[in-house]
Amino acid sequence: MTIFYRWSALYVVAGMVFVLLVRDDPGAMARQMLASIPSQFMRFYTLGGILLIPLAAALYLMWKRGLKDRWQTVVGTLIACTFVTMMFPMVKASLPYAVPFWADPLLADVDRVLHFGVAPWVPAHNLFGDVPWVVTDLLYAVFWMFPATYLPFLLAVFDANHARVVRFSLIYLATFFLLGNVMAGLFMSGGPIYYDRLVGGDAFADLVAIFESGARGETLTSNLQGLLWTAYAEGEQKFGSGISAFPSVHVAMTALWALYLAEVSRKLLPLSIALVLIYQVFSVFLGWHYAVDGYASILVILALWALTRKSGQETNVATQLTPT
């Protein structure tokens, strides 16, 4: 896992340099984020914390099945993931200071072209409007959080295939850096829920009204949408803050899980496809993303997976052919 640790450290250092260059007071920004961690963790893990119970049980069982032989990797990935996921929102929240929001009209137009003149959120709400908000909140925000932010740690715990763990850990890191920072910076966009505030007009007023009406009660999603906008408008830094739509890190991470599950067992392919479809639809349903955000994320993750898989196979063949 040395290569993963090195690239993680490089990402953190590069992120710090970027923040120092574009923010007026990065020290205050870091303090704000650190101060917000307890409340933000409580927000996401009050319900998601139930996942820690089976995780603790799994750690105990895996310890007896060889986990004790790779405990250094487990601890190392835990530390690396923590630093990466602390740096990521700082970079993400700093992107608007380097590049203005400009791509929302383009992405909205592409969405309509791809979906026969209709904004994708409309059929999404027509089809799934009766799904309880607690279900969408749990799936999209709560249950996604831990496996997405600590995927390499989970792989180190449950998968004894070192090469596969390294490969998927590197794609995890590329997801944050390449998709979540570089591509997001090139295509600065706020997403449908913030479109009217950023661009003007009322193109997504009906979507916004669904969340602002409170007709179905207060939701985690509507609260987060308000908190993220406030943090952006007031230049605050909180753990998990930052606004960007294209591409979708949510869908990208889900696609990465899906590819991992399908690679481990072909029997899990239906589950993998279902996961990607669910998060793709709900990313649009909840107003966070244009449909094209998810499509692009899936394609990039597929490309990274294919590239690293081919590279890994070539390395294995070369190793086998090397005289000893």
Residue 322 lies in a domain: no
Q: How many Å apart are CA 227 and CA 297, to the nearest integer?
A: 25
Measured on CA atoms in the order 309, 313, 314, 319, is the torsion positive or negative? positive
Residue 324 lies in a domain: no
Kindly state the tokens that stand for 148: 């997405």
* Encoded amino acid at 305, one letter: W
DSSP codes joined into one string, 236-281: ---TT-----SS-HHHHHHHHHHHHHHHH-GGGHHHHHHHHHHHHH
pLDDT of residue 188: 96
The parent domain of residue 170 ranges over 2-314
Residue 164 lies in a domain: yes
Residue 323 lies in a domain: no
Residue pLDDT, tens place only, 147-204: 899 999 999 988 889 999 999 999 999 999 999 999 999 999 999 999 999 999 999 9
Cβ within 8 Å of residue 63, ≥6 positions away? none
Residue 100 lies in a domain: yes
What end-to-end distance do the CA atoms of the chain give, in Å? 24
Residue 320 lies in a domain: no
Residue 145 lies in a domain: yes
Q: How many Å apart are CA 35 and CA 146, to the nearest integer?
A: 20
Instruction: Name the 3-class secondary structure at 130.
Output: coil
pLDDT of residue 322: 44
Cβ within 8 Å of residue 174, ≥6 positions away? 304
Q: Which stretches of the chain are DSSP H helices?
A: 2-22, 26-48, 52-63, 71-98, 104-114, 121-128, 133-137, 143-149, 151-158, 162-174, 184-186, 192-199, 205-212, 220-233, 249-264, 269-285, 291-321
Instruction: Name the 3-class secondary structure at 99.
Output: coil
- Per the structure, the count of domains in the chain is 1
Residues of the chain with pLDDT under 50: 40, 43-44, 47-48, 315-324
pLDDT of residue 74: 84
Residue 295 lies in a domain: yes
Asked whether the beta carbons of 151 and 253 are under 8 A apart, the reply is yes
Q: How many Å apart are CA 273 and CA 139, to the nearest integer?
A: 15
